[in-house]
Amino acid sequence: MEERSPMLSLEAVPTETTTIVQVETADNEEKEIILHRQNGDVTAWVNACQHYRHIPIDKGEGAAMRNGEFVCQNHGAYFEADSGYCTFGPCEGAYLDSVDVAVEDGDVYLTDENYDFVGTGPLETDDTDLASTSNVEF
């Protein structure tokens, strides 16, 4: 049996926002995954709004949240933290792409066979990226 290492401790996953880990697909594509802790469990989602998939939910400092939902700061879409369901906004009815994780002995493990864990924190960004940082005021 292959020995695996935890991505991070359960206590390192926030309850009021998200944290980012880096993963890689079988096609060597790097992606960001956001993790959120609720009631001792952790949910994980690909860090991409369903309206425009190049826009991250967590821009590197934790996702904005209101009433237990992630808020896309670009489009104002709301996603339930426990199901990934979009309850409001231009992609209402869509779901964030889920990623399988497990909590064992106080640590969080990546269990999704579609990804390999690379590291913690956001991916390096391109300073020439002209993507908007926000269209929604908080």
Beta pairing class for 107-110 and 86-88:
unpaired
Alpha-carbon span 43 to 5, nearest angstrom: 18
pLDDT band at 126 (very low <50, low <70, confident <90, very high): low
pLDDT for the residue numbered 3: 59
The three-point CA angle 50-46-73 to 5° equals 50
pLDDT by residue (tens digit) across 25-45?
Answer: 999 999 999 999 999 899 999
Q: Does residue 93 or residue 52 have the better pLDDT?
A: 93
pTM attached to this predicted model: 0.85
CA distances from residue 93 to 67, 96, 107 in whole angstroms, order as listed: 18, 10, 32
pLDDT band at 138 (very low <50, low <70, confident <90, very high): very low
